[in-house]
Amino acid sequence: MDQGKPAKKRDNGQRVGDRKILEGDMVVTAVGGHFAIGQITAGGDTQSIGSQPKLAEAFERACALAGANHRVFLYPSAGIPDYRPVDCAEVIKSRPTRGKW
């Protein structure tokens, strides 16, 4: 896990979707051969939370961390500022454990 790494600056302007990314929202980013998970800070930076080898696992972890009060966004590739909202209800429904964390 990459916990404790310094936050990285991100341009958090309006993205594809229905609202801006807010403090506490989670971001999953494709980085090399894994998927990094980060949380948006009060200053609009991304604080690294960790990474997962598979996209589905990264979404599951990010959705669990986001809870009911925050959203999860996919940042498809570093350098491309195009966040896409993730439907955590669909992620939960698709789990083999039928939605149980």
pLDDT at position 67 is 92
pLDDT grade, residue 96 (50/70/90)? low
Q: Over 50: is that where the pLDDT of 18 sits?
A: no
The torsion angles phi and psi of 19, rounded to 5 degrees, stand at -160, 170
User: Tokens in use for 28?
Assistant: 């999953």
Residue 25 CA to residue 81 CA, distance in Å, equals 16
38-54 residue pLDDT tens: 999 999 888 999 999 99
